[in-house]
Homo-oligomer: A and B are copies of this chain.
Amino acid sequence: MNWALTLDLLGTFFFAISGSLLAAQRGYDIVGSLLLGSLTGLGGGVIRDLIIGVPPTAFAEPVHLAAPVAAAVLVFFLASGVERYSRPLLIFDAGGLALFCTTGTVKALEAGMNPVAAMLLGVTTGVGGGLLRDVVANRDPQLFNSSDLYAVPAFLGAAIVAGVWFTALPNVVTVFVAAIVVFVFRVLSLHFRWRIPHAKGQPKMGRASE
C-alpha cells in the first residue's frame, strides 16, 4: 500500500467519522449514519476525480468503502452520548480537511494541472465532503461559520504543497507536514475563535429584503 492511498483512506475515515457523528446527533439510524459518513468521506474525492477526469477512486478501488463502514460501526458502538458534544465532530472534520486539501493538491498536480488550479482543486476536495454533509443534513455549513477559520487553513495547506512542487516532488514528508500544519491551524482557530473581517454591515445570519 503506497503512502498516497494510506493518507487518502485516513482522510476518508476522519470525514466519515464526522458524518456518522452528525448522523447520531440528528437521530439517524445506523444506515443513515453509514450513508452520511460515506457521503462525507467519499464525496470530496469523487468531486476531485470527476474534475480531474479519472474514474472516482471510491468506485474504482472498493477498499475506500471500508473507511465509512468502520466509522459507522465505531460511532454506533462507542459513541454513547458522544453525539451530545460537537467537539469530536469538529476534530475529526479537521483531520479530514487537513489530509484532503493536501492530497487533493498532489493528485491535481500529478494529473498535470497548473499550480493555481491544483490549489483550487485541493481546497475543493478538502471542503467538499463537509459541505455535502452539512447541505444534505440541512444545516448551515461549517464552511461559512464566521466564528472560526475553515477555508483559510485549507488554502494554506494546498499552497504549501503546490509551492513545494516547484522545488521538488511532494513526497510523504511534505504532505504529512503540510497536513499537520492545516490540522493545528484549524484546531487553534476553533479554540481561540480566530476570525477574519466580515463584509461590512449587518451582523450574523440575518436575512434582509428591500
Task: List residues of A whose CB falls within 8 A of some B CB.
Answer: 20, 23-33, 35-36, 46, 50-51, 53, 55-56, 58-60, 62, 65, 75-76, 79-87, 108, 113-114, 116-117, 120-121, 127, 131, 135-141, 143-144, 146, 149, 151-152, 195-210
CB neighbours of A76 from chain B (8 A): 197, 199-200
CB neighbours of A143 from chain B (8 A): 32, 35
The verdict on A210 contacting B120 (CB below 8 Å), with A199-B24, A199-B76 known, is: no
Q: Do B83 and A25 have beta carbons less than 8 Å apart?
A: no
CB neighbours of A146 from chain B (8 A): 27-29, 32
CB neighbours of A197 from chain B (8 A): 29-30, 76
Q: Do B116 and A62 have beta carbons less than 8 Å apart?
A: yes
Q: Do A198 and B29 have beta carbons less than 8 Å apart?
A: yes
Q: Could you name 11 residue pairs across A and B whose Cβ atoms are closer than 8 Å?
A: A23-B199, A24-B199, A30-B197, A32-B144, A32-B151, A59-B108, A62-B114, A80-B201, A85-B210, A86-B209, A138-B140
